Chain A
Amino acid sequence: MIEVENLEVAFGKGDDRKQVVKSVSFKVAKGETLGIVGESGCGKSTVLRSLAGLDRHWTGRIALAGQDVAKERTKQQFELAQMVFQDPYGSIHPRHRIERVLAELLRAMQRGEGWDRVVPALERVGLPAAFAERFPHELSGGQRQRVAIARALMLAPQILLLDEPTSALDVSVQAEVLNLLSDLREEQQLTYVLVSHDLSVIAHMCDRVLVMKEGVFVDELTPEAFRGGEITQAYSKTLFEASFL
């Protein structure tokens, strides 16, 4: 579903040039959830933003659903992959009602007004239809993140890119959102790439985990190895021990 070859991302020019991601390659199969873990600043979010089409500083090859994509995406290519952001307080237009937030995608894509799709989209993420009338500031963090997920699913993408989708939420709400994401994946055969530094979230969600350090993948793990703590690679071990202390 996703193929990435020799992806490199660098910002700045000349002496200021800073290479954030150094030639990474990976594949994600359809219906799979790939987790990427690493410390802050290791480049994991940059990989995700390049996949989504937000960062245009990359070189290499990215293919989504068997189709090579360029740095400038077409509307059809945007429909392949959508992203859920970390901060539900900043990722929804603060002056739009929820119905407008959800209908905007179809309007921007010039596919009609989109009002009739609002209620089904809300119901899909377990929110009552009455929420369509509200403003984002009238919703809790978990509810907002549900709206953000509903928005990402509006265009029926096959791939969902999740950038720390629960790290801004309370622990109890985290579980709800993660379960919602798992259910949606099964219902709609979605492919996830989940970036997080929370190892328990990764262990709960992912079929495969890549460990990233300073712009390269240093290890690949299964969730079983994670839960059992059978980690051999030195850096992964440090990371693992640091987060379960």
Chain B
Amino acid sequence: MSNVETLPGRGGFGRLFGRMATTVRLSLSKLSREPLGMVGFIVLAVLVIVAIFAPWIAPYSPTAQNLPQALQAPSWAHWAGTDEFGRDILSRLIHGTRITIQTVLAVTLIVGPVGLIVGVVAGFVGGRTDAILMRATDIVLSFPSLIPALAFAAAMGAGLQTAIIAISLTGWPPIARLARAEALVVRNTDYVAAARLYGASPLRILFLYIAPMCIPSVVVRLTLNMAGIILTAAALGFLGLGAQPPAPEWGAMISNGRKFMLDYWWVAVMPGPAILITSLAFNLVGDALRDLLDPRHVRS
């Protein structure tokens, strides 16, 4: 039995690393057959890099006022023009990616685990637990996401954190429903029955057998949700309930520019493409992930 030593599973970081490398290579080769998805991933990677290195990339400070330069049209000095305080709009957009990416990540990290756990537990346990959890989900689902956010901002004061919590509060029910539907299917499979027969505890079945099978579709759904999160965050910013001035939040920038829209169009317009490109990138990535992770959606 000399081959026992070569079997993995017992430590062996090199081997684990090798397996991960294989998985990544396989995914990349699949992805290269999806040009649109590839574009989404590249745009997203660029956005993340811009967000991380914003202070070094941005040509001007996002908040320093320069009143003699106020409301300049786009030019070589200011590619996207300046706003009413003479701040460079391009620099503000670049710094705004930080706020956007931060919001999206924070909301996703809250919504994903909460939705997954609620849904999987409801689907697996069933009975009364299922009924209670799903009715709670239905109640939350019946709120349009902006309304609790408004109430929340009124109660806790406007700000980025409030916006994140408010969006998260209404964001988890779709995930929970999806996870529940998946769990209902997985619960009745033979390999779960087999696991019951070798005495696997309910918790073991829940976390090692059912939850992992629900994760791919949840990840896909989360990615597709990210575009919606960006839009809701921008809407909250537009209403003055998101990040507060002088923070360069894209929605808030549009809202400011509204006052000068007729004479100085670039102030209101410039954040638009940024929001559009980011949402589009997330949607493309979500679609590509669905093709990669979910074998049921075969491209015809």
Task: Give the complex CA separation of A54 and B212 in angstroms.
Answer: 23
| Contact A92–B198 (Cβ < 8 Å) | no
Q: Are A95's CB and B197's CB within 8 A?
A: no
Most buried by B among A91, A93, A95: A93
Indicate if the CB atoms of B190 and A119 lie closer than 8 Å: no
21 A-B residue pairs with Cβ-Cβ distance under 8 Å, sorted by A, are A52-B197, A54-B196, A54-B197, A73-B199, A78-B197, A82-B197, A90-B190, A91-B194, A94-B213, A99-B8, A108-B195, A108-B201, A108-B204, A113-B9, A115-B4, A115-B10, A119-B3, A119-B4, A133-B7, A148-B194, A155-B198
- Assess whether A90 is in contact with B198, with CB atoms less than 8 Å apart: no
A44 at the interface (CB under 8 A from B): no
Q: In chain A, residues 110-165, which have Cβ atoms closer than 8 Å to a Cβ of chain B?
A: 113, 115-116, 118-120, 129-130, 132-133, 148, 151, 154-155
Check: A219 CB closer than 8 A to any chain B CB: no
Across the interface, which residues of A come within 8 angstroms of B199, CB to CB?
A: 73, 75, 78, 108-109
A8 at the binding interface (Cβ < 8 Å) = no
Output the nearest chain B residue to A49 by Cβ-Cβ distance: B193
The CA-CA distance from A75 to B208 in the complex, in Å, is 19
Q: Does A85 contact B (CB under 8 A)?
A: yes
Q: B200: CB under 8 A from chain A?
A: yes
Work out how many contacts link A and B, with CB atoms closer than 8 A.
78
When C-beta atoms are compared, the residue in chain A nearest to B188 turns out to be A90
B191 within 8 Å of A (CB atoms): yes
Size class of the contact patch on chain B: 20 to 34
Interface residues contributed by chain A, number (CB under 8 Å): 38
Interface residues of B in 204-241 (CB under 8 A from A): 204, 208-209, 212-213
Contact mask for chain B residues 173-189; partner A; CB cutoff 8 A; 1 contact, 0 none: 00000000000000001
CB distance B198 to A119 under 8 Å? no
Chain A CB within 8 A of B1 CB: yes
Q: Is the CB of B193 within 8 A of A85?
A: yes
- Contact, CB under 8 Å: B198 / A116: no
State how many angstroms separate the Cβ of A108 from the closest Cβ of chain B. 4
- B259 to chain A minimum Cβ distance, whole angstroms, is 55
> CA A39 – CA B119 in complex, angstroms?
38
Q: Does A36 belong to the interface (CB within 8 Å)?
A: no
Q: Assess whether A32 is interfacial by the CB under 8 Å rule.
A: no
Q: Which residue of B lies closest to A114 (CB)?
A: B9
Known: A52-B197, A78-B199, A104-B198. A115 touches B190 (CB 8 A): no
Give every chain A residue within 8 A of B7 (Cβ-Cβ).
99, 115, 118-119, 129, 132-133
CB under 8 Å from chain B, chain A span 51-99 = 52-54, 73, 75, 78, 82-83, 85-87, 90-95, 99
The reply to whether B198 and A113 form a contact with Cβ atoms under 8 Å apart is: no
Q: Give 1 or 0 for each of B2-18: 1 = CB within 8 Å of chain A CB.
A: 01100111100000000
Interface pair B195/A104, CB less than 8 Å apart: yes
Inside 8 A of B201's CB, which chain A residues have their CB?
108
